[in-house]
A and B are shown apart, each in its own frame.
Chain A
């Protein structure tokens, strides 16, 4: 119930292509869904986040799509660049439910080839 399932485990995309990473959750009490980007040797850094009252959020080249009924959300990276090569983690928490701890997916290692 507390799990967040993330796929794919790894992704290779050509420069300029679209990268898509998917996550699914079971616990309907989750109400906050962030995506974190992590470079080797660094801590996770918030990329973009969404709450379930909207179905999509866009910030620059990054878009989260959220499907509440399917309990799924995804990250789309448009015009992918080599500098986007990193590991991406989806996460979920239930801030309104009194537990702000982030439950992370297993991560997707994205490689963008030049």
Chain B
């Protein structure tokens, strides 16, 4: 069964550093989402991306965050200058169309020191 993959599985960084989290969606999926989950809390929507542009973003997704699909396959989330409070699991989710299920990747655990 096809699945969403994410790299790295764990990223440790110093506060103020830039990080890039990568997602490889299922091949025929056109909608790409990022969610995050702070330890022990609920999963929260960050941003949605369709047709090479952001379609919706949450208030969490400020100017420090950006997304892109650099090569037509990978989907990336960049955090320009990480803060301690960015420490969380970041999940990529993809789906084919609005009536389809969202498939989640295994997540990247980001630890900001």
Contact = CB atoms under 8 A, between A and B. Distances in A.
B42 A106 contact: yes
Interface string A73-114: 000000000000000010100011001111111110000000
A95 B43 contact: no
Contacts of B103: 46
Given A100-B48, A101-B33, A106-B42, A43 B56 contact: no
B91 A44 contact: yes
Interface in A53-86: none
Contacts of A95: 98-99
A34 B101 CA distance: 9
A45 B104 contact: yes
Interface-centre pick from A44, A104, A105, A107 (highest chain B CB count, 10 A): A44
10 contacts: A41-B106, A41-B107, A42-B107, A43-B104, A91-B43, A95-B98, A100-B95, A101-B33, A101-B45, A103-B45
A99 B4 CA distance: 21
Interface of A: 34, 36, 41-46, 49, 89, 91, 95-96, 99-107
Given A101-B48, A102-B45, A43 B98 contact: no
B25 interface: no
B12 to A, nearest CB: 16
B18 interface: no
Contacts of B43: 44, 89, 91, 102, 104
* 9 closest residue pairs by CB, A with B: A43-B104, A101-B45, A95-B98, A104-B43, A106-B42, A104-B42, A43-B106, A44-B104, A43-B107
B65 interface: no
